[in-house]
Amino acid sequence: MKKTVLVVFFITTTVLLKAQSLKTSMDRGQKVYEKVCLSCHMADGGGVPHLNPPLSQTSYVLGDKSKIIYIVLHGMTDRIPIEDEYYSNNMAAHTDLNDQQIADVLTYVRNNFGNKASAVTVADVKAVRTKKK
Amino acid sequence: MKNFLLYVFCLNISLAACASGNDGVKKAVDDNAGLKLPAGFTAIKMSENIGRSRHIAVTAQGDVYVKSSKLYNGKGILFMKDLNGDGIIDTVMGFGKYTGTGIAIKNGYLYASSDEEVFRYKLNAKNEVINPDQPEKIITGLINRHQHESKSVALDNEGNIYVNVGAYANACQEKDRTLHSKGRMPCPILDSAGGIWQFKADKLNQTYGDGIRYATGLRNVVGLDWNTQTNSLFVMQHGRDQLHDNWPELFDTKQSAELPAETMYELHKGSNAGWPYVYYDPIQHKKILAPEYGGDGKKGIDDIKSEPSVIMGGKGGDPTTLINDMSIARKPVEKNIQDPTVAFPAHMAPNALLFYTGNQFPEKYKNGAFIAFHGSWNRAPEPQKGYLVAFVPFKNGKPSGDWEIFADDFAGGDEFMSPNKAKHRPTGLAQGPDGSLYVTDDVKGAVYKISYNK
């Protein structure tokens, strides 16, 4: 009996702590978003038609984390269609952001604007940063 | 004309008209298609939901050519007719399998552009294209790096065509749109873009070498028109973006939303509007040295004393060392950077310019300039602005009063933060044979006709 209570307690706290850390990461991520991403991708993540792509429900945002980490680190000028649309602007490399800020902002993006996807961790960002191109 | 693909159908509004007699037409007139206009003017939406209408040309017969930046049934140029004169398009035919922006009619030819080339099509006596599948390619190989890539055209009365080639950058930084990235000196983009090029209107396969760089220092022009009163070219420049994003210690978000001006210039051969070294501040009323070139948001280009060693990029020859040293701002290499003819609020994105020569509108509009503003994006986090058609009165070839809003509420009326909320965005302008003003929209491909009824 005692054991079960302990296990239940342990599980709930882990879940709660995880939720808590997701929330603090999201809060920090929102600040980064408003400072560096909002001017192009807009407050609602809707982007600008034909200029800056939306961040809501795109295959990039919901897909492979390392791809979007790479985009924030190195910018994007590919002009490959994003959900069948081309966007005529250059996204700059955000070399001024540290690993924590990139993890936070992408966690925020992946769980906002109607998106639901796993958090991006500092370890994820480190892995992409150190990986050879 | 016979090998045109012919699409005859009731369009959105006319569908209502088809179903219920003239009610649909009447309603569109009653609420002026949702536009806010000066007293005495009415608007009707002639068509909608056909591609993304960019520029527009109207024939002497009142038929409409629209260049679309999205193929509609596989075609990039739409030829539309209002058969019964009720203001609603009844037939749409398409040709030209390329997208683009520019379109113009001159001396029996229709000119149309893709983002790299300019074509022309011979017209018959009714101003219909004779061989829609066999245009003459008059200009080719214009630079397209998928930023400011649209090519607009205007023609003079001496057989020349003027083409805008927009700069494929925001401010000619070493790294485009990047925090604290310095300006390249001299800006290499200006060789082949960031200006207006002049070509012959009737010569085939011209490239850069056949034309001349008529004017430079223009970041991106989409709206341009030949003014027959002054016999000169006028253009509207899209001013630079991201002063706050890239130079946050010099500009806060509010200043960045109001700087720099969108500007009109009267150009002559050799004109220079100053991009990327200079931008025009509509509040201080002066040409300011760009922060990428050592500016601090205050230093006017005309205040700087010319220092030869500095002009050439610094004493050591390293053009980057001096940048951001506010004490030795470098005077750009180019001289005689001209002042704008008119300065408009920032970021409103002027996409078309038209000098009104018709007789339908009241006297004050005669020879004045209409400007279609596409509307802002780079005002965020401030609310967006400028989804409208503006007017500037002209007398003797010079502005004779302040600019004013002529037609508003294209976006829908309420204040909004995100450009994707805009229902319509003005993009093209044309004058009809009866003096009506035609306005296109590139969200839904709408064509509006604005008329004056005494």
* Sheet with strand B271-272: strands edge to edge: B153-155, B160-165, B195-200, B212-216, B271-272
Name the residue facing A92 among B177, B378, B381 (closest C-beta): B177
Contact B380 A38 (CB under 8 A): yes
The better pLDDT of the pair B3, B367 is held by B367
C-beta atoms of A51 and B381 within 8 A: no
**B420 closest CB neighbour out of A46, A75, A89:** A46
Chain A residues with beta carbon closer than 8 angstroms to that of B179? 92, 94, 96
Q: What are the distances in angstroms from CA A14 to CA A5, A9, A18, A121, B190?
A: 14, 9, 6, 17, 59
ipTM of the complex: 0.88
Question: What are B156-193's pLDDT values in tens digits?
Answer: 999 999 999 999 999 999 999 999 999 999 999 999 99
Residues 6+ apart with CB under 8 A from A21: none
Report how far residue B362's alpha carbon sits from residue A99's, in angstroms, rounded to the nearest whole number: 62
CA distance B285 to chain A (A): 26
**Residue of A36, A38, A90 lying closest to B147 (CB–CB):** A90
Amino acid code (one letter) for B113: S
- How would you classify the pairing of strands B41-47 and B447-452? antiparallel
Mark yes or no for CB contact B419/A49 under 8 Å.
yes
Amino acid at B271: S
Q: How far apart are CA A120 and CA B2, in angstroms?
A: 59
Amino acid (1-letter code) at residue A59: S
Q: What is the pLDDT of residue B1?
A: 41
Residue B309, CA atoms < 13 Å, CB-side half-sphere: 7
Render each residue's pLDDT in chain A as its tens digit; 133 residues: 666 766 666 666 666 667 778 899 999 999 999 999 999 999 999 999 999 999 999 999 999 999 999 999 999 998 999 999 999 999 999 999 999 999 999 999 999 999 999 999 999 999 999 986 5
User: Phi, psi at residue B411, to the nearest 5°?
Assistant: -70, -25
Task: Establish how many alpha carbons lie within 13 A of residue A24's alpha carbon, considering only the half-sphere containing its beta carbon.
Answer: 7
Angle formed at CA B300 by CA B296 and CA B303, multiple of 5 degrees: 120
Cβ-Cβ contacts under 8 Å, A39 against chain B: 242, 244-245, 378, 380-381
Q: Kind and range of the H or E element at B438?
A: strand B437-441
Whether B176 and A92 lie within 8 Å, measured CB to CB = yes
- The pair of three-digit structure tokens given for residue A43, joined into one six-digit string: 């407050």
Contact B221, B166 (CB under 8 A): yes
Average pLDDT over residues B37-55: 96
Nearest by CB to residue B417, choosing from A42, A51, A88, is A42
Task: Measure Cα distances from B138 to B142, B152, B210, B242, B393 in Å.
Answer: 12, 14, 11, 36, 35
Residue A107: which H helix or E strand, with range? helix A99-110
Interatomic CA distance for residues A10 and B105, integer angstroms: 77
Strands B212-216 and B271-272, bridge-based pairing: parallel
pLDDT of B373-383, one tens digit each?
999 999 999 99
Note whether B280 and B340 are within 8 A (CB). yes
CA-CA distance, B400 to B53, in Å (whole number)? 32
